[in-house]
Structure 1
Amino acid sequence: MNESLPANPRRLATASRNWPMRASLAILGLIALLCLIGPLVSGHPYDQVYRDYVLVRPSLFAHPDAHETHEALEGIARRMRVGAETSREEGGVLHITLSAGRPIDPRALRAFERSDVFGPARIVETSDEGRRVSIDILLKRMVFLFGTDANGRDLFTRVLIAGRISLAVGLLASFVALTIGVAYGAVAGYAGGRIDALMMRIVEIVYALPFIFFVIVLVMVFGRHFVLIFVTIGAVEWLDMARIVRGQTLSIQQRDFVAAAEALGASAPAILWRHVVPNASGTIAAFLAVLVPRVILLESFVSFLGLGVQEPLTSWGVLVADGARNIQGSVHLLIFPALFLGATLGALQSLGDAWQGSPGTGRR
């Protein structure tokens, strides 16, 4: 007998023994944990611009290196109109002798503090009536695991911040689509007849509208509030969910356990909540695995149009688009956000497949 049974509360415990599901959950949990904690310990604010470190390549070693130190020193010396005669590094401290044709104003040394490479400068010795000054400067040590972008911002922090945005968009917008689509499709399928026909005609009419245009209109009318973006995207992604749940409802409605519940006098909402929706959960979960990445990609497109996530915030899709534009000279801008996005989408797809194939989800 291949008929679905009423939902079993032990389904999750049984499904948890499915190793693909556990692996997918572990990957998603690790990514979520990194996105949550990573920016707090990276040492770089996501919107901090390091003008001396533009398009730095990924590295485990601390910056600045000898070349970066020399370039920064030469630039500051030119702005101060002085010459850097000698310099040597010792224990993270740079010893420099500056000289000029006029007395050097100590206040000009503040230029070192404004640099991303150097810390405050301390005068050690002054000679030649102030025209020669020996100073000690503490070097600022920084590590850019994923390198930096075209604006000199730490890519590691930005990828994790983008993960927060993308995961939030995927989960919250999908929750909106799930709530509307499941309720709408279940009611239409169970009611049947003219009510079903009318509700599905409404879905077809909405389908005929350019959904991205619909998103743009909603954002333009109600503004670009962060939460509104989730609701707006979810509000146009429920149509497929409604159709799928309707089809599942029509099938499950013919099963014996539904007929038994009706014979016992169970109300329509009770039957939908206790029997129809739980027995369609496998298909719903499988579709959610497709819906979440689709929502993430839709958010990226909306942000690309200037109607979604705005600078300095970002999302994985926005970072991937930026990386694609700079792939010739800075491939790391594309690789790291694409890896996080791909791992997330793959884990979601695997999770949906594992859930659909687990015992008690309506498949044998």
Structure 2
Amino acid sequence: MNRSEPSPEPQPSRLFFSPRGAGKGSVRVSLAVLASITLLCLLGPLVSPHPYDRVYRDYVLVGPSLSPHPSAAEIDQAVDEIARRMHAQIEIQSLDGEALQATLAGDKPIDARALRAFERSDIFSAPRIIGREDEGRRLRIEASLKPMFFLFGTDANGRDLLTRILIAGRVSLSVGLLASLVALLIGVGYGAIAGYAGGGADALMMRLVEIIYALPFIFFVIVLVMVFGRHFALIFVAIGAVEWLDMARIVRGQTLSIKRKDYVAAAEALGATPAAILRRHVVPNAAGPIIAYLALLIPRVILLESFVSFLGLGVQEPLTSWGVLIADGARNIQSAVHLLIFPAIFLGATLGALQSLGNSWRDSFDARSN
């Protein structure tokens, strides 16, 4: 008597966000990179000693360094500039890491109010007179130094590059998230309605999508700038107006497949409205490819915003984005290459992590579907 083969035990269903194989490690790395960059951009400017729009006239195009400023050369240059403004001669007596002692000599008695030139510099604090000679023609002063750190250096206007990169990250990430959210809402709704309606309504709605596809994006942005002027909100409008098209096509294709399922037919037989069917059955069952494409859409939107800002049509000074910083770095690449390298690293790491995350989720969905 032949024994029947034992039936295989039911396997637990895999969640969509549980990648198989080596993709699990790449998801963890991508999430760690994104979390680190996001926390830096959110919290970094709050603890930075340099406001993102503060101009340091004595520190223009300073290179990246772990050493504190000012250096001896920067002090000498600042002293020469102050002496020129005061029409006096300054002889440095002693210099240490905390204070400068010098003697000021002039043809006429030196007015103490002229010492405010030290206060207006970014290197010295308010000086203190420690001695007078020759009826006030010679003053011995002591001025404390202002130690500063510029880990990533400064830009052509003397602004701290690290703080500006973190502020730019806030702008670029917010544009990527909000514009992607707009594309998600419009694309999912439009594609689901078109796919479920079918027939002439579907054909008409998709012809409209193809017409919008034919419009050049840069031309659309230029028209918006000419009509409404340069404004930060225009970036969301311009990007959100075109990036929902691919989402609509994806959701439409999924809807055409899902609406033939038995559970949709059962819901229709029970008298469920089309809106209820789309909300309860179609969109939830199409969530896999929607989320996978959304993870790929965010880096695309960030790159698009950077490209628009690189052309000078995006955010305006003193606000900045990674695209604006990269454009500034490209203009100063010969004299200050750090202006290009550091924002490009942040942008590249963010785009790479998002792209890797989207690819892993897409592969996981494909494996689950098969």
Q: Normalising by the residue count of structure 2, what TM-score does the alignment of the two structures yield?
A: 0.89
Give the SS at the match of 1:56: coil
Are 2:356 and 1:350 aligned?
yes
The corresponding residue for 1:4 is none
- Aligned partner of 2:178: which letter? L
Structure 1, unmatched stretches of 5+, are 1-7
Mean Cα deviation higher: 233-242 or 167-176: 233-242
Q: Are residue 340 (structure 1) and residue 346 (structure 2) matched? A: yes
CA displacement at 1:322 relative to structure 2: 1.4
- Aligned residue number for residue 42 of structure 1: 48
- What is the letter of the counterpart of residue 165 of structure 1? V
Q: Secondary structure at the match of 1:126?
A: strand
Residues 213-222 or 342-351, more deviating: 213-222
Indicate yes or no: 2:299 matched with 1:293: yes
CA-CA distance at 1:239 after TM superposition: 1.1
Corresponding residue SS for 2:130: strand
| Equivalent residue number for residue 186 of structure 2 | 180
Q: What does residue range 212-361 of structure 1 map to in structure 2 within 5 Å? A: 212-358=218-364
Q: Does residue 106 in structure 1 map to residue 112 in structure 2?
A: yes
Write the deviation string for residues 71-120 of structure 1: whole angstroms up to 9, x where unpaired.
Answer: 11111112211112233123501111111222111111000001011111
The answer to whether the Cα contact below 8 Å between 1:14 and 1:359 also exists between their aligned partners in 2 is no
Q: How does 1:58-77 map to 2 (within 5 A)?
A: 58-77=64-83
**Whose radius of gyration is greater, 1 or 2?**
2
* Partner amino acid, structure 1, of 2:48: S
Structure 2 distance, partners of 1:340, 1:357, is 26
Structure 2 unaligned residues grouped into runs of 5+: 1-12
Give the % identical residues: 70
The CA deviation at 1:330 is 1.2
CA deviation vs aligned residue, 1:114-168 (integer Å, no higher than 9, x gap): 1011111110001111111110101111100110011111000000000000001
**Aligned pair partner of 1:205 in 193, 200, 211:** 211
Match of 1:139 in 2: 145
Q: Alpha carbons of 1:361 and 1:105: their partners in 2 closer, same or farther (altered >3 Å)?
A: farther
How far did 1:223 drift? 4.7
User: 1:305 & 1:353 partners in 2: Cα distance?
Assistant: 29
Match of 2:129 in 1: 123
CA distance in 2, matches of 1:346, 1:256: 40
Letter in structure 2 aligned against 1:151: N
Q: CA RMSD in A?
A: 2.3
Whether the 8 Å CA contact 1:120–1:138 is kept in 2: the answer is yes
Deviation at residue 306 of structure 1 after TM alignment: 4.2
**Any idea what SS the aligned residue of 1:144 has?**
coil
2:360 is matched by which residue type in structure 1? A
User: How far off is 1:288 after superposition?
Assistant: 2.0
Displacement of 1:285 after TM fit?
Answer: 2.3
Change (3 A) 1:313 1:75: same
Q: What corresponds to 1:96 in structure 2?
A: 102
